Structure 1
């Protein structure tokens, strides 16, 4: 290792998802069901608002906490959802930026953070950058949010519980009862509760629920990247107790500085754009991919996000690892993600159904042939 490289960088590897993206660029006409971003473009009213901001000179730094029209629109929404709570809001550089600020604001070296396995790839890496200790709770085979399992993992070093619903990579959503149990558990033990709600708009069955309803100290992280296809715009937001928000902002001043100002003006417009049609299309994609594969693969039906996380089928003798299975899929031109990127297990693989209907049909054909071969 180069002598200038910091020790903290050796505690995690580069994202395996990025390696698949690099591979995709080398394949000719692959069926790409690996990318975790919507297949539709940013709606025109949002583009036009950002263009207007650029042409009218709104190109400088914004206030670190974000432009006031966006914060005010979010504040009104938050106050309606969580009336009477001490809940401030600021604009982060994407939800990834919000997650990093939350870790840096609250995690000391040696602090333990509990989250479900499988998990979003960034969680353990961010924690280890801060010197935190990831505590992974095995949620196989159904990927439910089980408060009893979480409570059993709590120690005097536990600082935070990190919840993601709807979840990446499984698409599974926690029920209101499950979220309430974990929210009350965090309050009982005086543990920080962070809720990653970036897929809150992609909710197909029932109504979206947040643990912040049951625990007013919950730190909520959300944004516009997935809901409005603005992944490259880097506009997220964080809301929670005002003292925690002030501390996160202090760190943002010396790191990200602010989210890009023109993109924030686009986000103001985004709050007025209805997503019903897109969400309905994704519900149909969810139904198609699940119903086309559930007879051959063990799948927990996703209620949100745009992922399914099937188990590698067994031939009755020796079961392939997910990595081996994905290699076979890639040989046939299908790009999916092996589960060991999101988990300590290598038994499942992630499919993103944020793709065209034609791509999904081709992908299903390959996956069915792999299961039957």
Structure 2
């Protein structure tokens, strides 16, 4: 290793998802069910708002906390949901930026952070960057949020419980009772509760519920990347107790500085855009994938996001993914998101044609009739 490289960078590897993306570039006309971003484009009205901001000269730094108009719109939306006396908001440089700021603001070296396994690939890496200790809690086979398992993982070093519902990579949504129980546990133990809600608008069965409804100290991270197909615009937002928000802003000032100003004006317009048609479409895609594969794969039915996390036939999810790639199908091995190598992730954020072709290949690989 080069002598200048910091030790902290050796505690995690590059994302395995990027390796699949590299493979995609080498394949001719692959069936790509690997990408975790919407398959529709940014709505035109959002584009126009950003273009108008650029033409109007709104191209400089914004305030670190975000433009006042967007912050106020988010604040009003949050206030309508929660009656917390102490809840502030700010605009982050994407939800990934928000996650990093949250970790840097709250996690000391040696502090433990609990989250479910399977997990979003960034979670353990971010914890380790802060010198913290990732504590994944096994949630197989149904990927439920089990408060007893969470409670059993708590030690005197536990600083944070990190929730993600709807979840990446499983698409599973925690129930209101599960979220209420974990929220109460965190409050009782005086543990920080961080809720990653980037898929909050991708909720297909019932209504979305946040643990912030039951614990007024919950720090919530959300954004526009997934819901409005704005993954490259890097506009997220955070709301939580004011002292935590002030600390996160202090770090943002010396790191990301601010989210891109023209993109913030686009996000302001995005708050007026109805997503009902897209969500109905994704519910239909979810149903198609689950119904088409449930007879030949073990699948926990996803209630949100745009992922399915089936169990792979055989002993290795990674080996199965290699076979799939050999047939021109790009999916993600489950061991990227987990300590287990038993599953694989499908993204159904794809065209109907891609989904039909993907189903044919997966059924063929499982030895089922097409």
Tell me the residue number matched to 2:9.
Answer: 9
Contact 2:317 2:341 in 1 (8 A): yes
- How far apart, in 2, do the equivalents of 1:276 and 1:37 lie? 17
What TM-score results when the alignment is normalised by the length of structure 1? 0.98
Say if 2:222 and 2:236, in contact at 8 Å, map to a contact too. yes
Alignment of 1:242-257 (within 5 A): 242-257=242-257
Q: Which runs of 4+ in 1 moved over 4 A?
A: none
1:320: how far off?
3.1
Deviation digits for residues 162-184 of structure 1 (CA, Å, limit 9, x no counterpart): 00000000000000000000000
Contact preservation (8 Å) 2:235, 2:267: yes
Question: How big is each residue's C-alpha offset from its partner over 1:7-57, in whole Å with a ceiling of 9 and x where there is no partner?
Answer: 000000000001101110110000000000000000000000000000000
Shift of 1:323: 0.6
CA distance in 2, matches of 1:323, 1:213: 39
- How big is each residue's C-alpha offset from its partner over 1:84-107, in whole Å with a ceiling of 9 and x where there is no partner? 331100000000000000000000
* 2: CA distance, partners of 1:83 / 1:296: 47
CA apart distance, 1:83: 1.5
- Cross-structure match for 2:327: 332
CA distance in 1, matches of 2:47, 2:250: 30
Q: Deviations over 1:183-227 (max 9, x none)?
A: 000000000000000000000000000000000000000000000
Maintained 8 Å contact 2:332/2:344? yes
User: Within 1, Cα distance between the matches of 2:85 and 2:362?
Assistant: 48
C-alpha distance in 1, partners of 2:175/2:85?
22
1:356 matched to 2:351? The reply is yes
TM-score (norm 2): 0.99
Name the structure 1 match of 2:135. Answer: 135
Trace 1:5-154 onto structure 2 (pairs within 5 A): 5-154=5-154
Following the alignment from structure 1 to structure 2, what is the Cα–Cα distance between the partners of residues 354 and 206?
21
2:263 corresponds to which residue? 263
Please give the alpha-carbon distance, in whole angstroms, between the structure 1 residues aligned to 2:157 and 2:270: 41
Q: Residue 281 in 1 paired to residue 276 in 2?
A: no
Distance in 1 separating the partners of 2:39 and 2:315: 31
CA distance in structure 2 between the partners assigned to 1:279 and 1:47 by the alignment: 20
Structure 1: 5+ residue runs without aligned partners?
A: 314-318
Residues 257-281 of structure 1, C-alpha deviations (whole Å, 9 max, x = no match) = 0000000000000000000000000
Residue in structure 2 matched with residue 183 of structure 1 by the alignment: 183
Aligned-partner SS, 1:193: strand
Could you say what secondary structure the match of 2:297 adopts? coil
- 2:187 equivalent to 1:193: no
Three-state SS of the structure 1 residue aligned to 2:109 is coil
Question: Which residue of structure 2 lines up, in the alignment, with residue 320 of structure 1?
Answer: 315
| Cα distance in 2 between the residues matched to 1:275 and 1:348 | 31
Measure, in 2, the Cα distance between the counterparts of 1:122 and 1:323.
19
Query: Structure 2: which 5+ residue stretches go unaligned?
Result: none
The alignment yields a C-alpha RMSD, in angstroms, of 0.6
Question: What is the distance in 2 between the residues matched to 1:312 and 1:129?
Answer: 32
Distance between the aligned counterparts of 1:351 and 1:323, measured in 2?
A: 13
Residue 343, structure 1, aligned to residue 338, structure 2: yes
Tell me the matched-pair count: 368
- Whole-angstrom distance in 2 between the partners of 1:195 and 1:177: 16
Residue-by-residue CA offset, 1:320-353 (whole Å, 9 max, x unaligned): 3001000000000000000000000000000000
- Partners in 2 of 1:153 and 1:29 — Cα distance? 45
The whole-number CA distance in structure 2 between the counterparts of 1:109 and 1:83 is 34
Q: Distance in 2 between matches of 1:117 and 1:355?
A: 25
The DSSP-based 3-state class of the residue aligned with 1:372 is coil
